[in-house]
Amino acid sequence: MELALYAPRLGYYSGGAAKLGKDGDFTTAPEITPLFGQALAHVAANLFAQTGAQIMEFGAGTGRLAYDILSEYQAQGIALERYFIVELSGELRARQEELLKDFPQVQWLQQMPQAFAGVVLGNEVLDAMPVQLVIKTDGGWKECGVSVADADADSGPRFIYRERDCDPALVAQIPDAQALPSGYMTEVHPVAAGFMRSLAQMLCNGREASGKGAAAILIDYGFPAAEYYLEQRMQGTLMCHYRHHSHPDPFYLPGLQDITAHVDFSAMAIAASEAGLDVIAYMSQAGFLLEAGIGEILMRTPADDPLAYLPQANALQKLISPAEMGELFKVLILGTEVEADAGLSKLLRHDRSHRL
């Protein structure tokens, strides 16, 4: 999965093909409507008194989220010292640079720095990190690796799954793993957990160096562990996206399609907590956006102008509807030396961190 997504010049995120929007393979919330970024901008700004007025975004895509946040700050007179973007894809960075050329606060980084005090943003970052597949067999748990089947009369060589002995540490992350039925296949997330530990170290270092707090807001689709590893979810959550069509075959057009898995938010919260961060809140995207004031932001568009208002109202419905993105997408807020002051207290009404 790591090679298919990130191999230099050949991986999905390393190549030059369009990935986001109508000409790509999938669409994210910032591509749907600027309301998303405008609402997120105000949550971040409410933290600046404790963290300092800096933002760091991971996996900024086309740069649309950064553009909407920076435009909102500009329009509302909110000061922002620096907007860092950590971007691995050269093609996406070029698109970001073109879109954001009028915002001098933006600075690109090729890797996570050692220390940062401010607000970290990550929208659909964790789901793009490589996972490891495991399967319950009659002989116990096995890891599913990738091998090559020899050519036959009907086809040439092709990729296939091949089972191998499984590290018990992987299985230990699955609740009640031994009670699951034979044939149960799922994912574990050691790479994403490693990212969370590195993120925590960066923010804790930033706190120590600056004397200020630091926070992270991570938005993605996924579940707490108790829901992620349900017995009914026999084939896990691994999914591929190509030209806005979704399917479960990671061996189809490797390097040309997105490969993703839902996020185990329990594992992410545990990794961050063990590395020094506080879990401030965990909630649905709908609850987060509504308390962030997205409805009030929509009302800036006159309702008596249907050509302007209706597309944004429909987009808002997509973001918050339980049948669309509102419930599947979750928001995990982490921090160090950050108090749930007036800027976050409304959000805490939707907190579900007890489910993690």
Q: What is the pLDDT, as a whole number, of residue 24?
A: 60
Amino acid at 278: D
- In 10 A of CB 275, how many CB atoms? 18
What is the predicted pLDDT for the residue at 222? 98
User: What pLDDT does residue 122 have?
Assistant: 98
Interatomic CA distance for residues 320 and 328, integer angstroms? 10
pLDDT at 158: 87
- What is the mean pLDDT of the segment spanning 77-82? 98
Tokens of 137: 């067999």
Average pLDDT over residues 147-157: 79
- Which of 10-19, 86-95, 132-141, 147-156 has the largest mean confidence? 132-141
- In the three-class reduction of DSSP (H, G, I as helix; E, B as strand; rest coil), residue 220 is classed as strand
Q: Of 18-32, 93-107, 161-175, 188-202, where does mean pLDDT reach its minimum?
A: 18-32
**8-state DSSP, 87:** -
> CATH number for the 2-130+190-355 domain, one of 1.20.1250.20, 3.40.50.150, 3.40.1410.10, 3.40.50.12710?
3.40.50.12710
**Helical H runs in the chain?**
2-6, 29-32, 34-51, 64-76, 90-99, 168-171, 190-210, 225-228, 265-274, 285-291, 294-298, 306-320, 342-345
Mean pLDDT of the residues in the chain: 94
Q: Domain limits of the chain?
A: 2-130+190-355, 132-188
Residue range 130-141: average pLDDT? 97
Q: Is the pLDDT of residue 155 over 80?
A: no
Whole-structure pTM over 0.85, yes or no?
A: yes
pLDDT 10s digits, 210-247: 999 999 999 999 999 999 999 999 999 999 998 878 99
